[in-house]
Amino acid sequence: MKVHINRLPLKRNYVTLKQEFHNELAERLLQVGGSIDGAGKLVGIADTVMGRIIKKERKRRIRIDFLLNILNLLGISLEKAESNVIWIGNNQSNGIENPKLPFTFNSRASARFLAAICNDGWISGGAYYSNMKQESREFVRKDTISVFGENKNTVREWIKEKDRYLAFPSIIRDVLVLISQFKGVKSENNPPVPAFILNNPELILGWIEQTIADEGHVKNYPDEYRREIIWRRSFNKSLEVCRLNKDEQKMLNILGINYDVKK
């Protein structure tokens, strides 16, 4: 599962490009269009905006839909542009510096991140993960950086009297909304496990690792030489089917793990 920038909400997200690549776009736009006005008409961008894009003296943020129009006009691949992105996000947010584009969900770290948001997180105006344990928050921070890229603003930590949580840039929320059905909190929203995770045993393992860390524990029976893993899911009583619980049973079946379900 890969999320390229052309799948994100285009009119509210921006990118900053490496200066050399940005200059290349500006020069080629002027060559093709003959002037700022001519270039703007070719890609449907107002003169004032095109003027800011073409100026070379400083890095400028470019709205993603404008960038896609420029790439299409100049015949430049999306992959090349993504390799030259040094910042991405909403124009009013911290965003992510040096993002790992396209955002790729093919590792246990990515599955653990998704499970963490589903388990102890929520999505509203932003995306969040709440856990009183510093160690748990730190593991989620590392997995987030592994998937999205690292800088001091990729994950922000908030310590309050009755809660300690991680907050993520709006661009991460946009990715989550795109690839999952996580909204609000799981007990009310009743999300399923993202379908692409169920098709990959490695991702299943990552999901289960995080879920046991957030929602479960291990019981040891030394006299019987065995251990037992338990995790609990809480849902609104009005739900007829708990989709998360059903999908996690599918996971255990795929892995060949014996289990039973108790209400």
Cis before 191 (ω within 30):
no
Q: Which residues of the chain carry a pLDDT beneath 50?
A: none
Q: What's the pLDDT score for residue 151?
A: 67
pLDDT of residue 50: 86
Give pLDDT tens digits for 94-133: 889 999 999 999 999 999 999 999 999 999 888 999 988 8
**Which residues have a Cβ under 8 Å from the Cβ of 92 and sit 6 or more positions away?**
none
**pLDDT value of position 206:** 96
Residue 70, both tokens: 């420029």
Q: CA 209 to CA 138: how far, in whole Å? A: 15
Q: In the prediction, which pLDDT does 188 show? A: 81
- The pLDDT value recorded for residue 145 is 92
192-224 tens-digit pLDDT: 999 999 999 999 999 999 999 998 888 887 777
The domains located in the chain, with CATH, are: 2-92 (1.10.260.40), 104-255 (3.10.28.10)
CA distances from 239 to 128, 134, 190 (A): 24, 33, 8
Q: What is the pLDDT of residue 189?
A: 82
**pLDDT value of position 242:** 87
Q: What is the pLDDT of residue 218?
A: 85
pTM across the whole model: 0.88
